[in-house]
Amino acid sequence: MNLTIDVGNTRVKTAVFKRNNLVETMFFDKKKIISEIQKILKKHSISNGIISNVATISEKKMKKLQEIVNLQVVSSKMKLPFINLYKTPLTLGVDRIALVSGAVKQFPNKNVLIIDAGTCITFDFVNEKSEYLGGAISPGIHLRYKALHTFTANLPLIDVVELKEFVGKDTKESIISGVLHGVVKEIDGIIADYNNKYVDLTILLTGGDIKFLSKQLKSSIFATQNLLHKGLNEILIFNGYK
């Protein structure tokens, strides 16, 4: 069985796979990463693991993790299940590498646009030849709220991902309407541009704000919460770790 680990700023998400089948997912505080991984290893017969976003983990903890499980660290230097045509491949984020890997596995020989709506909104395009061409990076919903609060004198900090009013009746509603409508129109517009350029486009939506966006977007999309972990598992399998 394989273990995939994605480290966030404060939380860690893990997933256990038996070959290509997702068995279980777990969230826990990053401070407890060693003890929680040890619990997973006691529960499941894990042969191999893979971890992304290790920059915020201390060397001591990384060394300990690698002692208790055969752990690979995602990087652009690994063998990948797609052809990386990014002009600066070494700067391609490991999250984006995993998402593209998952997309290629799920939709082989297809033009695929992957939209990850989290802290940032990333757009990644891989064509029917499994060639990764690049994409775009834009501020996410909560980052836009934070920017309005931080870089103005009087605007409050909002933390809402629910659109009730088109016309904001007060300052709070106006911020919510502006940010959420702006994100939806931006994504719809980018999807339209890709649809105009590439035939038979498959659109995947993932990330923390998937619930709101999947209801708002005009285009036909596949919404999936675990695409990143499926991609991490695919990288392991592609490198011979089964």
Q: What is the pLDDT of residues 32-46, one digit of tens each?
A: 999 999 999 999 999
| Residue range 144-159, pLDDT digits in tens | 999 999 999 999 999 9
Query: What is the rounded CA–CA span in Å between residue 74 and residue 89?
Result: 13
pTM of the full structure: 0.91
Whether residue 114 sits in one domain with residue 201: yes
Q: Which pLDDT value is given to residue 86?
A: 96
From 20, 39, 73, give the residue that closes a domain. Answer: 73
CA 240, CA 72: separation in Å to the nearest integer?
A: 12
Tell me how far the alpha carbon of residue 127 is from its chain's centroid.
Answer: 19
Is the torsion defined by CA of 112, 122, 1, 222 positive or negative?
A: negative
The enclosing domain of 22 has a CATH number of: 3.30.420.40
- Residue 67 CA neighbour count, 13 Å, CB half: 7
Residue 53 pLDDT: 84
Phi, psi (deg, nearest 5) at residue 111? -80, 120
Query: Which of 43-47, 119-123, 190-194, 218-222 has the lowest average pLDDT?
Result: 218-222
Do residue 21 and residue 110 come from a single domain? no
Distance (Å, whole) CA 164 – CA 161: 10
pLDDT at residue number 185: 94
| Closest-CA residue to 31 (of 51, 57, 4) | 57
Same domain, 202 and 124: yes
Q: Is 122 annotated as a binding residue?
A: no
Contact 89, 76 (CB under 8 A): yes
pLDDT confidence of residue 219:
80
In this structure, is residue 78 part of a structural domain? Answer: no
What's the CA gap between 113 and 201, in Å, rounded?
Answer: 7
Using the 3D structure, point to which of 73, 103, 121 is the last residue of a domain: 73
Q: Does the annotation place 7 within a ligand binding site?
A: yes
The verdict on 54 and 169 lying in the same domain is: no
Same domain, 116 and 194: yes
User: Is residue 94 annotated as involved in ligand binding?
Assistant: yes
Please report the pLDDT score of residue 28 as a whole number.
Answer: 92
Residues 65 and 89 in one domain: no
**Residue 10 falls inside a structural domain:** yes
Is residue 238 in some structural domain? no
Q: Is residue 52 part of a domain?
A: yes
Q: What is the pLDDT of residue 114?
A: 97
Q: Quick check: 218 pLDDT over 90? A: no
- How many structural domains are present in the chain? 2
Is 124 among the annotated ligand-binding positions? no
Q: Is 9 labeled as ligand-binding?
A: yes
Report how far apart, in Å, the C-alpha atoms of 222 and of each of 135, 144, 202 are: 18, 25, 8
Residue-number span of the structural domain to which 38 is assigned: 2-73
Of 73, 98, 115, the position where a domain reaches its end is 73
Q: Can you tell me the distance from the alpha carbon of 23 to that of 34, in angstroms, rounded to the nearest whole number?
A: 21
Pairing relation of β-strands 120-126 and 111-117? antiparallel
Same domain for 222 and 161: yes
What is the spatial distance between Cα 103 and Cα 4, in angstroms, rounded to a whole number?
16
Please tell me whether residues 62 and 135 are part of one structural domain.
no
| Beta-carbon contacts of residue 153 (< 8 Å; ≥ 6 apart) | none
R_g (Cα) of the chain, nearest Å: 19
Residue 201 has pLDDT above 90, yes or no: yes
* Interval 67-126: pLDDT, tens: 999 999 998 889 999 999 999 999 999 999 999 999 999 999 999 999 999 889 999 999
Task: Name the band, by pLDDT with cuts 50, 70 and 90, for residue 188.
Answer: very high
Catalytic residue positions, numbered: 95
Question: Which pLDDT score is estimated for 95?
Answer: 93
30 with 121, same domain: the answer is no
Q: Is 11 annotated as a binding residue?
A: yes
pLDDT grade for 220, boundaries at 50, 70 and 90? confident
Q: Does residue 69 sit in the same domain as residue 170?
A: no
Mean per-residue pLDDT of the chain: 92
Q: Is the predicted pLDDT of residue 54 greater than 80, yes or no? A: no
- Residue 75's CB is within 10 A of a number of other CB atoms, namely 14
Domain membership flag for residue 145: yes
Residue 26 has pLDDT above 80, yes or no: yes
Residue 53: other Cβ atoms inside 10 A? 18
Contact between 4 and 232 (Cβ < 8 Å): yes
Q: Is 171 annotated as a binding residue?
A: yes
Token digits of residue 1:
């069985």
